[in-house]
Structure 1
Amino acid sequence: MTDRKAAEKSSREIALDILIEILEKGDFSHTQLNRTLKTQTALTKQDRSFITRLVEGTLERLITLDYILNGYSKVKVEKMKPFIRNLLRMSLYQLKYMDQVPDSAVCNEAVKLAGKRGFKSLSGFVNGVLRNIARNSKGSVFPLEEKEREEYLSILYSTPRWIIEKWLKDYDYETVKNMLAAQFEEKKYTTIRVNLAKNTVEELTERLKEENVETIDGNYLSCALKIQGFENMESIKAFAKGRFTVQDESSMLIGLIAGIQEKDFIIDVCGAPGGKALHAAELLKGTGMVETRDVTDYKVALIQENIRRMGLPNIKAVKKDATLKDEDSILKADIVLADLPCSGLGVIGKKPDIKYNMTREKQQELVKLQREILSVVSGYVKAGGILIYSTCTVNREENLGNVEWFTENYPFQLESLEGLLPEKLPCETKEKGYLQLIPGIHETDGFFMARLRKNT
């Protein structure tokens, strides 16, 4: 889309088109949003912020929004035309969750959009539903928490019921509520890891300050910073020069619990976009080698671009399928990093469409895939070497359940994380050799990691 055509579209129309691509055509939220904002350079910073908030907020609250709409519309959401249902969802989000936007503006703009896009005959329906909701100060009646606990949590926190039922089997009720609430916390900052091979934390902080990028310290690690106040990541000179990379602190912990020593040979499977491998290469202090792998040319190219940008000499990216045994790698690695494909339910605060796309059946298939990959890559670890298993989810089957299965069937045992984790980070299971990070309790993404040593 050209800048001129983009300028002809209002921020609301652009947001609506993004939502349709995601919810009706199956595109990923972060890729569609980033792609649109990157190509439409005519948008102001305020426009970009509004579009981002509107898209991400509508996705985050989708189940809640549909529940409310179904209470006011004779035509149920699933029976509406795709354009109309997403127009109503987006408009309702503004009414309910964006206090700075006047109700009249929301309703008027929705009617205009319906007419502009060929739905003038339905503009009265759109107007009626939205104005009826806006007039109802009491709002919708949600299920009662004390009588319908799972349904209450599902509607209030816009999360599929099957996920809530699964979490309630693994965690107590208050922990589940904390996890659910955490996904709606305002995301002011982006977490980055300082490339200590190129600059100190203090030096990078000064460089970012010169570019009017605000920084605060990370929660747990000294190499972590949180930044805000930038147009986009590519516009930051320090990023382009590889002085830092975007990485959550949960992911940074992998390099610490691996206990990396100089001259180690490290294999990182399923490595895109390369954050953990780059951190490992940095911890090697110019020695040893990290071979990071992924299954597609696109993912390998993504890793290679990050390697080029960060400028580390002791890391390479190769195309390999983690489910297929690589005979040349047998018993070669001092450390294998296995951050495997998972349900991703630990990062729904950043990628809200994950919770709608995942199913019980897909989650069970992922458990099988994780075990298949672990069976293969365990053979790459030298006797006495280390395997780090990790996921960005909070599901027990994919996490501790897989570790228990693995240690029962392969010559590995969990090894204590004592002395490897930051003192600031609470971990009741560190002596047992694993850590489950939980949104709402820990100030990170939901993440699991385990340190496993191969028997000699």
Structure 2
Amino acid sequence: MTDKKKSSRELALDILLEILEKGDFSHTLLNKTLKMQNTLTKQDRSFITRLVEGTLERLLTLDYILNSYSKVRVEKMKPFIRNLLRMSLYQLKYMDQVPDSAVCNEAVKMAEKRGFKSLSGFVNGVLRNIARDSRGDILPGEEKDREEYLSILYSTPKWMIEKWLKEYDYETVKKMLTAQFEEKKHTTIRVNLAKNTAGELADRLREDSIEVKEGSYLDCALKIQGFESLDSIKAFKEGRFTVQDESSMLIGLIAGIKEKDYIIDVCGAPGGKALHGAELLKGTGMLETRDVTDYKVSLIQENIERMGFHNIRTVKWDARIKDEDSISKADIVIADLPCSGLGVIGKKPDIKYNMTLEKQGELVKLQREILSVVSSYVKEGGTLIYSTCTVNRDENLGNVEWFMENHPFCLQSLEDYLPQKLSGETKEKGYLQLVPGIHDTDGFFMARLKRNIGSKAGYSGKRFHE
């Protein structure tokens, strides 16, 4: 994908082939490709990003429509052809500024250029039939089959729809699904208050022609847009801010971090929560942030060096393996654990196609395994923060309930830690589920748990909150 003669559409198609046929991750591959293609204009970069992300977001919808017009089902097509059709249909249906004729002509040219001249007529016929068809939407009706309707309209696997409808009401599910398609113009950042105030950083970014507005809930959060890349922003390279969603920033607040605390962050990459924790320690104490691979640890270390904190260290460690030297040592343990990631499908749309009910069940087991290990690091009376970036109950509240039945911990109210304008009737109980479309954040779950005074290793209790 380094051929500079490739058009924007060809680059987008190559990215889609890597993601959908070879299982590469959308956000990393897209960023890597755009970084390599340093001769692309800002307009080209925006077009490629929109085309790749949009095709991924609407994949099931696109396939449903294509199967309605093609005698050959999408799954039976050659990989190049099916992804060419998907990408072209996205332009026809969702990119009004692109003429239909240009979409069809470019698709035919690409098919011929890549050795599929014999199928160029098929490509042309399918796309032109769709373009000139006046039947309008051919999607399933809402009243006939609500699950099928939501699945196709919002391009989300039916099993997810069925699961969420058991956990949320119908309107909430629709809002959650709609939110993943909202135009993502801004990037949320957390201000490094050790180096500048939010106002100072905002002024500096505006001087560089970057658009800035306040965060939705927190004073340390800003939303920015109108920049080429993070590496092009001098304030970023100087460590004056880091990219982090506001939902993730809340972890540092509900932890109730005090000066001189000793904190262990057990699954820390890329380091956002750990860096926030180090900042809240105000140069005191120590935060040890861990992850399982050299690569993940290097990501954290890179961010530590950029942000300039000295009361934080990295360790390569598998969270499933008990560290005997850490038992009962930590004032706070932050356990933001591997999860299905279904709270961030608006940013990483391919997640929803790669996750299965079976994989999600395995993740629940992994989360419980890790919690059982890392909870032993918490001192008596200390705090365990459990969080995930998903909206599934069994990974979230279900795990908290299981954990308290088997370990000497109880929930503590979040009322004193969270901003008043952040709604959630469960804050007093000690946990909060953030839902896209309801809250202006990623989908995210957080719980604050206290280790009971005088608890023993074999304790099993069912106290739900305190």
Q: TM-score range by the shorter chain?
A: over 0.9
Q: Deviations over 1:267-296 (max 9, x none)?
A: 001100000000000000000010000000
Quick one: which of 58, 63, 71 aligns to 1:61? 58
- Residue 298 of structure 1 deviates from its aligned partner by 0.1
Superposed CA deviations along residues 124-160 of structure 1, whole A, max 9, x for unmatched, are 0000000000001323421111110100000000000
Write out aligned runs for 1:428-439 (5 A). 428-439=425-436
Structure 2 distance, partners of 1:333, 1:208, is 38
Once residues 15 and 43 of structure 1 are traced to their aligned partners in structure 2, the CA distance between those partners, rounded to angstroms, is: 13
- Is 1:453 the counterpart of 2:450 in the alignment? yes
Query: Per the alignment, in what secondary structure is the counterpart of residue 70 of structure 1?
Result: helix
What is the CA deviation profile of residues 146-205 of structure 1, one whole-angstrom value per residue up to 9, with x for unaligned ones?
A: 110100000000000000000000000000000111000000000000000011111111
Cα distance in 2 for partners of 1:144, 1:100 equals: 28
Counterpart selection for 2:218 from 216, 221, 224: 221
Q: CA deviation at 1:387?
A: 0.1
> Could you tell me which of 240, 253, 258 is aligned with 1:256?
253
Supply the distance in 2 between the matched residues of 1:418 and 1:40 (Cα, whole angstroms): 48
For residues 218-262 of structure 1, give each alpha carbon's deviation from its aligned partner in whole angstroms, at most 9, with x where no partner exists: 000000000000001111110011000000000000000000000
Matching residue of 2:462: none
Aligned to 2:9: 12
Indicate the residue corresponding to 1:299 in structure 2.
Answer: 296
Other-structure match for 1:161: 158
Is residue 394–residue 438 contact of structure 1 (8 Å, CA) maintained in 2? yes
Unaligned 5+ residue runs, structure 1?
none
Letter paired with 1:51: I
**Partner residue of 2:239?**
242
Match of 1:31 in 2: 28
Which residue of structure 1 lines up, in the alignment, with residue 459 of structure 2? none
- Give yes or no for contact 1:254–1:276 (8 Å, CA) kept in 2: yes
Please tell me the residue identity of whatever aligns with 2:287. Answer: V
CA offset at residue 16 of structure 1? 0.2
Q: How far off is 1:53 after superposition?
A: 0.2
Q: Percent identity?
A: 82
Note the 1:371-390 alignment, pairs <5 A: 371-390=368-387
Residue 423 of structure 1: how far off its partner (Å): 1.5
Matched, 1:286 2:283: yes
Aligned 1:2-401 pairs, distance under 5 A: 2=2, 5-6=3-4, 8-401=5-398
**SS of residue paired to 1:436:** strand
Task: Give the secondary-structure state (helix, strand or coil) at the position aligned to 2:242.
Answer: strand
Aligned to 2:399: 402
Please give the secondary structure, in 2, of the residue aligned with 1:24: helix
Q: Give the secondary structure class of the aligned counterpart of 1:33.
A: helix
**SS at 1:337's partner residue?**
strand
Deviation at 1:335, TM superposition (A): 0.2
Partner of 2:461: none
Q: Which residue of 1 aligns with 2:464?
A: none
Please report the TM-score for the alignment, with normalisation by the length of structure 2. Answer: 0.97
1:331 maps to a residue whose letter is S
SS of residue matched to 2:394: coil
Q: Is the 8 A contact 1:133 1:139 kept in 2?
A: no
Which residue of structure 1 lines up, in the alignment, with residue 460 of structure 2?
A: none
Task: Tell me how far apart the structure 1 counterparts of residues 229 and 14 of structure 2 sit (CA, whole Å).
Answer: 21
Kindly state the Cα deviation for residue 120 of structure 1 after the two structures are TM-superposed.
Answer: 0.7
**What root-mean-square deviation, in Å, do the aligned CA atoms of Structure 1 and Structure 2 show?**
0.6
In structure 2, C-alpha distance between the alignment counterparts of 1:138 and 1:183, rounded to whole Å = 27
Aligned equivalents of 2:24, 2:355: Cα separation in 1: 14
Q: Distance in 1 between matches of 2:314 and 2:49?
A: 32
C-alpha distance in 1 between matches for 2:218 and 2:64: 41
Match of residue 437 from structure 2: 440
2-structure distance, mates of 1:62, 1:315: 42
Q: Secondary structure at the match of 1:397?
A: helix
2:413 corresponds to: 416
Please give the alpha-carbon distance, in whole angstroms, between the structure 1 residues aligned to 2:163 and 2:125: 39
Matched-pair contact (CA < 8 Å) for 1:71–1:140: no
Q: Following the alignment from structure 1 to structure 2, what is the Cα–Cα distance between the partners of residues 213 and 315?
A: 31
**Take 1:424 and 1:137, find their aligned partners in 2: how far apart are those partners?**
46
The whole-number CA distance in structure 1 between the counterparts of 2:136 and 2:367 is 44
Gaps of 5+ in 2: 454-466
Other structure's SS at 2:393 match? coil
State how many pairs are aligned.
Answer: 453
